[in-house]
Amino acid sequence: MGLEAAMPADSFMTTQINRLINWARRSSVWPMPFATACCGIELMSTASSRYDLARFGAEVMRFSPRQSDLLIVAGRIAVKMLPVLQRIYLQMCEPKWVISMGACASTGGVFDTYAVVQGVDQFLPVDVYVPGCPPRPEMLLEGIMAIQRIIDSENIPYDGEGRRLPLQVAMEPNYEPRPQPAEVSIGAT
Ligand code: SF4
């Protein structure tokens, strides 16, 4: 990994076991994608070669909750799907984290109807909200890096009864909207 080249052959390094464990955890985050709609396409794109989620050690998506520790909810969640999502969350190993990706997962988005969950944080402890409709892959990468910082700082809050408390970190959009390339006007025909 380059470290052995930087250090003399007979030297050694000291650290704390917690730091070592957190370093290993954050370098091998295992996402569990729950992608139901268009946000899922951006999630797939994040794992593709252009954005290369593998650079963050988080490219392994095997739809296997028992091995996963990062649930990414991407897209709208119908009320009928909710028990499945909750079961998947419960099957995942501890410690685990949750990203709510996109407007629909976080708020229901434009689907203000009785059939769509108006924010998964009502039912799951969401740690990071990734904004957008859909969020760009860069934005999801920001969200995953935020999870890595949380793991590094070992910031996993529990209430008095051992229940996981959500961290609820909201990512800021990281782009400046540009002006329209041509003036847009509505004229009489
Ligand atoms: S937030 Fe936008 S892109 Fe994502 S699932 Fe909803 S409608 Fe689709």
Domain ranges of the chain: 29-170
Residue 28, CA distances (Å) to 58, 75, 120, 122 in order: 6, 24, 25, 28
Instruction: Say yes or no: domain 29-170 is CATH 3.10.450.350.
Output: no
What spacing in Å lies between the alpha carbon of 20 and ligand 1's midpoint? 38
Residue 189 has pLDDT above 70, yes or no: no
Say yes or no: CB of residue 109 within 6 Å of ligand 1: yes
SS3 content of the chain, % helix, strand, coil (to 5): 35, 15, 50
Tokens standing for residue 90:
């419960």
Q: Which range (35-49, 112-126, 149-163) has the least confidence?
A: 149-163
Q: Which range (47-56, 83-92, 139-148, 174-183) has the least confidence?
A: 174-183
Q: Whose CA is closest to atom 5 on ligand 1?
A: 75
DSSP letter assigned to residue 180: P
Tokens standing for residue 119:
């924010």
Say yes or no: CB of residue 39 within 6 Å of ligand 1: yes
Say yes or no: CB of residue 134 within 6 Å of ligand 1: yes
Q: Whose CA is closest to atom 3 on ligand 1?
A: 134
What spacing in Å lies between the alpha carbon of 111 and ligand 1's midpoint? 10
DSSP 105-142: HHH-TT--STTB-S-GGGTS---EEE-SSSPPHHHHHH
